[in-house]
Structure 1
Amino acid sequence: MPAAALAFAAHGMAPHQGLEDSPEEPSLSDRRLLTWDEIRQRTKQGASNREQWLVIDRKVYDIGRFCRRHPGGSRILLNHVGEDATDPFEAFHVNKSSVKKFLKTLLVGELAPDQSSSDPEKNELLIRDFRELRATVEKMGLLKPNTFFFLAYLFHILVLDAAAWLTLFYCGTSFLSIVVSITLLTISQVQAAWLQHDLGHLSVFQKTKWNHLLHKFVMCHLIGASANWWSLMHSQHHAKPNCYSKDPDIDVHPWLFSLGKSLSIELGKKKKKYMPYNFQHKYFAFTMPPLLFPTLFQYHTIYVSLKKKFWVDLLWMLTFYFRFFYMYGSLLGIKTVLLYYLIYRMLESSWFVWVSQMNHIPMHVDYDRKLDWTSTQLQATCNVDQSWFNDWFTGHLNFQIEHHLFPTMPRHNYWKVTPLVKSLCAKHGIEYKSKPLLTAFADILHSLKNSGELWLDAYLHK
């Protein structure tokens, strides 16, 4: 499930390691003109001496030696091998000029003059129109953050966090006081999760280093999870949303749930049954929402941090656990504070999972069909209708379409770009789907019920 933005070469959500000591730029005589057919042949799965090339702005880069040093992880690059990665590159970098200087060292050639800028098998007109839309967005200044908005947001998180403890300190540890305290802390934690999401996407400050620093504070110190871990997982989700084996948010297929029409039918035909998927719409609400944070996330964030040697994140995370158990343990005692911790984590998890999955699970889930950037994002995302409450409750993830098309856009500008995105969708006959909040929650269960029935039919009859 969610590992609640992207980076090619110098992606900003993880520390900028690995950009030094780069190989020397190849000489002009070493470069060559390439066709899309040649790129596909040289990079296809199973090819002998398979190349790890991708295309950005008509230039062909070999990321084979670099991908393991890539700040956003190797998978994010390898998932785009053989493709035009121009739009993902543009979408997830805030300092493109410095990154492009580094890219020169990976250059192996460029597209021949008679070749289209994008893969001819993709929707070239849509690609062109989206790039014009992005240029308009940049000219309108919609990628520039209002830092005061986010600092005020952080202030309300800190007030709620303090109020949770002060309730117990001044009002005692009665049942009612504990309920009020848990409620306040849960709200604070979920809102902090939305803010760390903004910071991870580099949409709070114009300077990358300030986004990184505050991301550590919010994610590691206030929430108790690794900022780098989140970046690695979330970047893959944004690159290929709802693409099986490439989006970690749907790694629960097939171990816990059967997702998507084609994947469910395939699973049934193979006679595989890891869970009673025809009942998954009934057991979802009692498993994934309340248990994701207290179990999988708690284990996985520590495991990845140790494996990847995110020592700074681990030290920051220790400050969360020390602060929480010292401050609350001194008031509640060992048994009660452990129960308090479990309850608020389950509530926080439930809120997060329902919100994060309402935009994706009901949408198209399949293998990566290597569509253009815009089509990939639009087929996997939907919106929830705007209101003051919905904006606050979801951390503006009710604007999931706009967020996925422009991941570094600060959330306070989503509503401004919505009319332009709707116009693009209407021109190309693409459905721009938006729904009420409760309908979005219900659609999670409806989609699970449908995919479970498809699996059962294929399992029994095909």
Structure 2
Amino acid sequence: MTQTTLTSADGPILAGASPRERHVSAYAELSRIIQSAGLLKRRYGFYWSLMIGSVAAFVGIWVGFALLGDSWYQLFLAAGLAVVLAQFGFLGHESAHRQIFASHRWNEWTGRVLSGLFTGLSYGWWMRKHTRHHLNPNKEGADPDIAPGVLAFSPAALERRRGLTAWLANRQGYFFFPLLLLEGLHLHVVSIQTIMRRERLKHRWVEALFVGVRLSGYLTALFVVLPPGKALAFLGVQLGLFGLLLGGSFAPNHKGMPIVPASMKIDFLRRQVLMSRNIHGGVLTDLAMGGLNYQVEHHLFPSMPRPNLRRAQPIVREFCAKHKITYTETSLFDSYRVVVRYLNDVGLQARDPFKCPLTAQYRA
């Protein structure tokens, strides 16, 4: 018995192919287009320039710190240090995704050094958490970025709250940016907790050494050069701005996009596109957000180097239009408005997380 076949740009498809099989075939087609355009090739010149420039800026800030001494002008250096540390954070993220080097070992140790010695964070903790996020963005019970915590990202999470916590959750959008000022401190606390716990952590003692040297050296320098009040002010400005820059770069990419029920199965292509949001802008936006403004392309091709994401965007956007997959892109300020409105609406208007275009598409 002979089966009739249909032909698409990626070759023959069985006429009786399931929707999931067709979706897998579509992603394979997109992957071939991206690869043929050379967009997965390494960009060593870009990354070496960025790493050397960031290290030079880091050293320069500490030289200026030592020369300036006891002065309130140190707060400007604290702000500059936060900006540089955010770049190290982005580079650590990119090395975790193997965007920088072809060698897995080079990427891993680059990320461990940048995260531990320069930003004072646990590479192993970040790696584990972020991998889970990429596998299931915005999926309840699977994505740690929407797990119940200070913020509630779904009505189900809100229903368990009572009293003051429920009142705050109903208005949590207004507290979102003030909370980001605490994100830098939170990242350091979680990193230390992860290193100290007995759970499995690769190269635990190396991470403990890196993070310990970085944090103890940092605090020692502050309190040796500055009186306690100015040292605490320096620390507060640096941690607050660092958390705001990192959190403000990650938050617009998924918050306010559809929340996926725990039981729903979605193919990879739609799972990554429909739950992600791009931020349009120029080269400065690319630098300030560490390439995370191309979130759709990053989620589809996590190992793609940052400079190639901009070149991949028109290809992916056209492909999504061809396959009738909603591709979301907006400005940075509009994305923040959406995030704040979404967080405030949780538990008030958006009672049913299943009422979203994604669910309607799959029910149909």
TM-score by shorter chain over 0.5 = yes
Question: How much has 1:386 moved relative to structure 2?
Answer: 3.0
Distance 2:236 2:228 in 1: 12
Question: How much has 1:339 moved relative to structure 2?
Answer: 3.7
Aligned AA (1:147): Y
1:435 aligns with 2:364: no
CA contact (8 A) 2:100 2:305 kept: yes
Deviations 1:245-279 (A, max 9, x none): 1111111x3x43332xxx41x456x5744432221
Q: From 160, 171, 177, give the equivalent of 1:279.
A: 171
1:133 aligns with 2:30: yes
Question: How much has 1:200 moved relative to structure 2?
Answer: 0.7
1:413 aligns with 2:305: no
Deviations 1:305-364 (A, max 9, x none): 233242211111122123323333331145533442233111110111121010111211
What's the counterpart of residue 258 of structure 1? Answer: 152
Aligned AA (1:430): I
Count of aligned pairs: 331
What's the counterpart of residue 144 of structure 2? Answer: 248
What's the counterpart of residue 261 of structure 2? Answer: 367
CA contact (8 A) 2:115 2:122 kept: yes
What's the counterpart of residue 453 of structure 1? Answer: 348
Distance 1:457 1:374 in 2: 25
Q: From 205, 209, 217, give the equivalent of 1:315.
A: 209
Distance 1:452 1:361 in 2: 15
Question: How much has 1:143 moved relative to structure 2?
Answer: 1.4
Aligned AA (1:327): A
CA contact (8 A) 1:364 1:380 kept: yes
What's the counterpart of residue 327 of structure 1? Answer: 221
Consecutive unaligned residues in structure 1, runs of 5 or more: 1-113
Deviations 1:85-136 (A, max 9, x none): xxxxxxxxxxxxxxxxxxxxxxxxxxxxx9x99xx4x533232121111123
What's the counterpart of residue 235 of structure 1? Answer: 131
Aligned AA (2:39): L
What's the counterpart of residue 181 of structure 2? Answer: 290
Q: From 248, 251, 268, give the equivalent of 1:357.
A: 251
Question: How much has 1:237 moved relative to structure 2?
Answer: 0.4
What's the counterpart of residue 146 of structure 1? Answer: 43
Distance 1:393 1:147 in 2: 20
SS in structure 1 opposite 2:294?
A: helix
The share of aligned pairs that are identical, in percent, is 23
CA contact (8 A) 1:258 1:455 kept: no
Q: Relative to 1, partners in 2 of residues 1:423 and 1:126: Cα closer, same or farther, differing over 3 Å?
A: farther
Aligned AA (2:225): L
Q: Relative contact order (alpha carbons < 8 A, sep ≥ 6): 1 or 2 greater?
A: 2
CA contact (8 A) 2:24 2:269 kept: yes
Q: From 60, 82, 102, give the equivalent of 1:206.
A: 102
1:155 aligns with 2:52: yes
Task: Kindly report the root-mean-square deviation, in angstroms, between the aligned alpha carbons of the 2 structures.
Answer: 2.3
Deviations 1:290-314 (A, max 9, x none): 112213x222212222332422111
Question: How much has 1:216 moved relative to structure 2?
Answer: 1.5
Distance 1:168 1:199 in 2: 29
CA contact (8 A) 1:402 1:418 kept: yes
What's the counterpart of residue 403 of structure 1? Answer: 298
Consecutive unaligned residues in structure 2, runs of 5 or more: 1-13, 354-364
CA contact (8 A) 1:157 1:192 kept: yes
SS in structure 1 opposite 2:220?
A: helix
Aligned 1:86-105 pairs, distance under 5 A: none
SS in structure 1 opposite 2:166?
A: coil
Q: From 289, 312, 327, give the equivalent of 1:394.
A: 289
CA contact (8 A) 2:83 2:245 kept: no
Distance 1:356 1:278 in 2: 22
Q: From 11, 21, 35, give the equivalent of 1:124.
A: 21
Question: How much has 1:207 moved relative to structure 2?
Answer: 1.2
Distance 1:329 1:139 in 2: 55
Question: How much has 1:406 moved relative to structure 2?
Answer: 0.3
TM-score (norm 2): 0.84
Distance 2:31 2:95 in 1: 21
